A and B are shown apart, each in its own frame.
Chain A
Amino acid sequence: MKQELIKLIDLSRCTACRGCQVACKQWNEMPASKTNNFGSYQNPPDLQWNTWTLIRFQEIEDRGGNVKWLFRKDGCMHCTDAACIKVCPTEALYHTEFGSVALKAHKCIGCKACIPACPFGVPKMNTATNRISKCDLCYTRLLANQPPACVLSCPTGAITFGDRDAMLAKAHKRATELGGDASVYGDKFVDGTHVLYVLTEKAEVYEHLPTDPKMPLSIIVWKDILKPAGLITAGAVVAGAFLHYITHGPKTPEEETTCEGGKES
């Protein structure tokens, strides 16, 4: 590995201006979807093949009855022990030299295995191209020694980028400064992610944020135990395939976006 880089998202500094959401679309040349206001500032409602990063808006009342408006920039966490890479049969998904998880789109066969595998709900299907689509931490920018587009766009310093150790230290320092329920999220599971949060509330308060994200057991069973064994005998391969069907279960259908890939709505 060349240099392990981490994106730190300090939620205590985010003003939800959504500059990052637009900068991502601009750099990665992704079209907009046709949306409606569904009673929230959040839009599109969820991550989509053409929305790799999304500010989630959430209103809560704290113990004292005070209203808080939480903003969380959602997107790929770039896991070290990445389930999506593990299940990808064609090595379309892979770790870059920076530790991030990128996609060689031409290798993607649209098997959708990565979709249920991801504990964060990140990979999305582009139904027009029948390929997966997700954040690659602006791999081409990293190669050119540039920070990801979202980092560059952030006016308040909520999103910063740098070496793993420096970012980890910065995150812990900030969480300590903030005190209360503030914590660092991302350093304790899946062997560490390459996106870290400083959360202002307990992790379980945030919608769509798993408190204990894991590699799904079915993948461990299949990829680490059964698949190696299957290579020894053909029979085991057949059994493994059967077991994969049983353990992996049916795939949840991917939500359709309202416009075709590559075309603006």
Chain B
Amino acid sequence: MTNHYIDLKNSDCILIMGSNAAENHPIAFKWIMRAKDRGAKIIHVDPRYTRTSARCDYHVPLRSGTDIAFLGGMIKHIIDNNLIQEEYVKYYTNASQIVSSGYDFKDGLFSGYNQEKRSYNKDTWTVEKDEKGIPVRDYTLENPRCVYQMLKKHYERYTLDQVSSITGVSKENLLKVYQEYGATGAKDKAGTECYALGWTHHTTGSQNIRTMSIIQLLLGNMGICGGGINALRGEPNVQGSTDHAILYNILPGYLKMPSGSIDTLQKYNDKYTSKSTDPQSANWYQNYPKYTVSFLKAMWGDKATAENEFGYSWLPKMDDGKHYSILHTIDSMYAGKIKGFFAYGSNIAVSSPNSTKVRKGLQKLKWLVNVNIFDNETASFWKAPGVDPKTVDTEVFLLPAAASMEKEGSQSNSGRWVQWRYKAANPPGDALSDGDITMRIIDALRDLYQKEGGACPEQLLNLKWDYKDAWGKFDVLKASKIINGHYTKDVTIEDPTGKAPKEVNLKGELVPTFAKLMADGSTSSGNWLMSGSFEQKGVNKMMKRGKEDPTGLGLFADWSYAWPLNRRIIYNRASCDLNGKPYNPKMKLLEWVGDKWVGDVADGPWPPLGDKEKGKYPFIMKADGVGAIFGAGMVEGPFPEHYEPLEGPLAKNPFSPQLVNPTITIFKSDLDKVANADEKFPYVCTTYSCTEHWCTGFTRWQPWLLEMMPEAYMEISEVLAQKLGIKNGEKVKVSSVRGEIPVVAMVTKRMKPFQVEGKTVHEVGIPFNYGWRWPDGAADASVNHLTPSVGCPNTFCPEYKAFMVNIRKA
């Protein structure tokens, strides 16, 4: 979230799209209802009418996988009707910058496409710069090559008729949403968007979100109370895990994972340190080397020195051009290229797409370690229905883990609030916390390396291995302090003006903020974003529970610690005009008073942009300081474009000759079959989680939850059920080209057929919370037997939300 949960109450219009907030984020709905009480409009755009729809002002059904078409139409509506927040768009976004002459878009492809590699050369996705290297701007927004005009041109094709025909949304409904949301372009109105897996689970996942980001910039909704782009993250500490680098392509604090050819620290820092010559750009990522070196110091302590590049060579490197997502890993596993696998708090036999391929891949491992609080379909894959245990050689270790309430630590909510959580009970039996399990494994590995040697032993043996308490147990507070960071030697900072006293920091003291981190090895920090979560004298800010809210805006600055620097709303300087006065005086998030910002923790101390000498642009994490309406960040293009899901009902993309996202990775194993626009699989299917169950369903072990949602079901419209002769509550079989599962048919008025390109398209939905392992006798109803191994080319988040199936009576 750029904002935070409580802030949802400050919105005038909440678009819930790509999320089923009431079911999957029930507490979020507390604040959404508060907004509704204030008179806000709550809109739900979703293929299904869900428990969320029931509490919204209205529900707009949309065919799965057509969000960009829907939102592209909104961009066109906003531009055509001049609903933009003009000052904001001119000065706080790159709308006024001039797109390089080499950039082009034709037939669904941007300039620089390489058909063979299925990727782009981004050299032309740039803007013109003057002799000083500063972007050229046309504040009239009239230059035909300025970003604003290029945006207008790009979405010219997204007419009401065309969008309605692709999405299956009526023109009346499209207009209703466009008008309602477009009205938040007024300076004193705020619109926000809540998304979750409904947007990320697509081959266009990242671009779904980016399309909305463009809308939010056009309407001046970023950085303000009641605005922002709000990813509702999952209960399993998804926010915290991502901040601390659960993904293969990042290091803690979203630093980049190096690859093989970036073989020196110098090269690494040069590549990823952001550069700008614009004096009005804060260009925060110019500090990148400070975070890198501090991270390396946290990893390898005194062993990390300037002479050995602070141990950079000990960091694992990815092979150039290779990806290591779960999709790639399973593909390699199925190809027999992986020896051992840790399924740590995960159940890939249920959670990963194309479960048949996953489970066959598991059979090719030599060993599998599953760390979990219950046995699951992954740990027991060798005795799954249809598998003869005698034919499986994989050795499986199931390590019992402590549940979240059986261990102490921090948990980060979607609003970036890192909250300390205390232990409520001891874990049962031999169960240990993840920290303790990891400690023991690494201890054993270090012993082995010490005794037997091996490849690159420095990596492990030089680790700063100081995470234990006096009893040899994992000390979570110690680990948290290492993450915050320390001074590694005495550091005295003199005030350049000589007015303030010298600041003396002693070796071993905690670093009070990431602004103090250094690239010379004098500081350490396991995750720069968390630097500041402790006070210098050791007070843990994550434990703070102050309930004061002096602004009345729900910021609660004294409750927990929000990264970065306890800032509650990111890019908050964009809530003020060029002179630092709030655009909406009724929601005074921040104001420039005298010589400082008053309100939330401001995004930097510099004066507002109106101060031509010292003022800075508000989007400080971007090199040019402004919000990117046009940007080279995504792999598939600087403007989002509608492409069909890998499997859909259409043989042709009505927008262009490019049927599917041209940059997706197509896996080619014998089990990676695809059936697009195939009459054998005529119905669109989507998947989701229900309120009652958690992810792949370890909540099935909880009798009260199982009682409420006992078995897998398929939501199907009355029209389709009648056509197929299916009665409510009847058992049916659903199949895709990859597999078949048994489910109970739930015939409902809440699903309706779509009219798409002149044809009736039916969509059904199945939850992903079920598997055979529990309860006893449960059917093997994991819906991922049906889904394809394909994902968004930016994140490789799988396309669970749109694929094609057939249905027959069981």
Contact between chains at A32 and B704 (CB < 8 Å): yes
Q: How far is the CA of A34 from the CA of B704 in the complex (A)?
A: 10
Residues of A within 8 A of B706 (CB): 32, 35
Q: Known contacts A37-B744, A69-B51; is A18 also within 8 Å of B692 by CB? A: yes
Is A265 in contact with chain B by the CB < 8 A criterion?
yes
Contact between chains at A22 and B705 (CB < 8 Å): yes
Residues of B within 8 A of A264 (CB): 703
Q: How far is the CA of A21 from the CA of B23 in the complex (A)?
A: 15
Contact between chains at B728 and A39 (CB < 8 Å): yes
Residues of B within 8 A of A21 (CB): 704, 708
Q: Render B25-60 as a binary contact track against A, CB cut-off 8 A, 1 for contact.
A: 011011001000000000000000101111100010
Is A16 in contact with chain B by the CB < 8 A criterion?
yes
Nearest CB of A to B323, in Å: 37
Residues of B within 8 A of A15 (CB): 22-23, 26, 29, 51-52, 54-55
Residues of A within 8 A of B691 (CB): 16-18
Identify whether the interface residues of A are mostly helix, strand, loop, or mixed: loop
Q: Known contacts A18-B708, A38-B729; is A156 also within 8 Å of B747 by CB? A: no
Q: Render A14-43 as a binary contact track against B, CB cut-off 8 A, 1 for contact.
A: 011111011001100001111111111101
The answer, among A31, A37, A71, for a CB contact under 8 Å with B710, is: A37
Residues of B within 8 A of A246 (CB): none
Q: How far is the CA of A218 from the CA of B690 in the complex (A)?
A: 45
Nearest CB of B to A60, in Å: 8
Contact between chains at B22 and A17 (CB < 8 Å): yes
The answer, among A13, A25, A69, for a CB contact under 8 Å with B750, is: A69
Is B373 in contact with chain A by the CB < 8 A criterion?
no
The answer, among A38, A59, A61, A157, for a CB contact under 8 Å with B33, is: A157
The answer, among B49, B703, B704, B746, for a CB contact under 8 Å with A37, is: B746
Residues of B within 8 A of A59 (CB): 748-750
Is B711 in contact with chain A by the CB < 8 A criterion?
yes
Contact between chains at B49 and A32 (CB < 8 Å): no
Q: How far is the CA of A28 from the CA of B796 in the complex (A)?
A: 46
Residues of B within 8 A of A265 (CB): 703
Residues of A within 8 A of B30 (CB): 155-157
Q: Please provide the chain A residues from 35 to 72 with a CB less than 8 Å away from any CB of chain B in the complex.
A: 35-41, 43-44, 59, 61, 67-71
Contact between chains at A39 and B51 (CB < 8 Å): no
Contact between chains at A67 and B33 (CB < 8 Å): no
Contact between chains at B746 and A40 (CB < 8 Å): yes
Size bracket, chain B contacts:
35 or more
Contact between chains at B729 and A37 (CB < 8 Å): yes
Is B83 in contact with chain A by the CB < 8 A criterion?
no
Q: Render B734-756 as a binary contact track against A, CB cut-off 8 A, 1 for contact.
A: 00000000001111111010000
Q: Known contacts A16-B54, A17-B22, A69-B49; is A155 also within 8 Å of B707 by CB? A: no
Q: How far is the CA of A67 from the CA of B50 in the complex (A)?
A: 11
Residues of A within 8 A of B745 (CB): 39
Residues of B within 8 A of A71 (CB): 51, 54
Residues of A within 8 A of B749 (CB): 59, 61, 67
Nearest CB of A to B168, in Å: 16
Nearest CB of A to B531, in Å: 33
Q: How far is the CA of A68 from the CA of B730 in the complex (A)?
A: 23
Is B713 in contact with chain A by the CB < 8 A criterion?
yes
Most chain B CB inside 10 Å of its own CB: which residue of A13, A15, A59, A156? A15
Q: Please provide the chain A residues from 104 to 130 with a CB less than 8 Å away from any CB of chain B in the complex.
A: none
Contact between chains at B29 and A155 (CB < 8 Å): yes
Is B709 in contact with chain A by the CB < 8 A criterion?
yes
Nearest CB of B to A9, in Å: 15
Residue of B nearest to A48 (CB): B707
Residue of A nearest to B690 (CB): A41
Residues of B within 8 A of A68 (CB): 54
Q: How far is the CA of A255 from the CA of B705 in the complex (A)?
A: 22
Contact between chains at B26 and A35 (CB < 8 Å): no
Q: How far is the CA of A84 from the CA of B276 in the complex (A)?
A: 79
Contact between chains at B22 and A37 (CB < 8 Å): no
Q: How far is the CA of A44 from the CA of B709 in the complex (A)?
A: 9
Residues of chain A whose beta carbon lies under 8 Å from any beta carbon of chain B = 13, 15-19, 21-22, 25-26, 31-41, 43-44, 59, 61, 67-71, 155-157, 264-265
Complex A-B: 10 CB contacts under 8 Å: A15-B22, A17-B23, A19-B26, A25-B704, A34-B707, A41-B746, A71-B54, A156-B55, A157-B33, A265-B703
Top-7 shortest CB links A-B? A39-B729, A32-B703, A39-B728, A32-B707, A15-B22, A17-B26, A69-B54
Question: Known pairs A15-B29, A35-B708. 4 more at Cβ < 8 A?
Answer: A15-B55, A36-B710, A36-B711, A39-B746
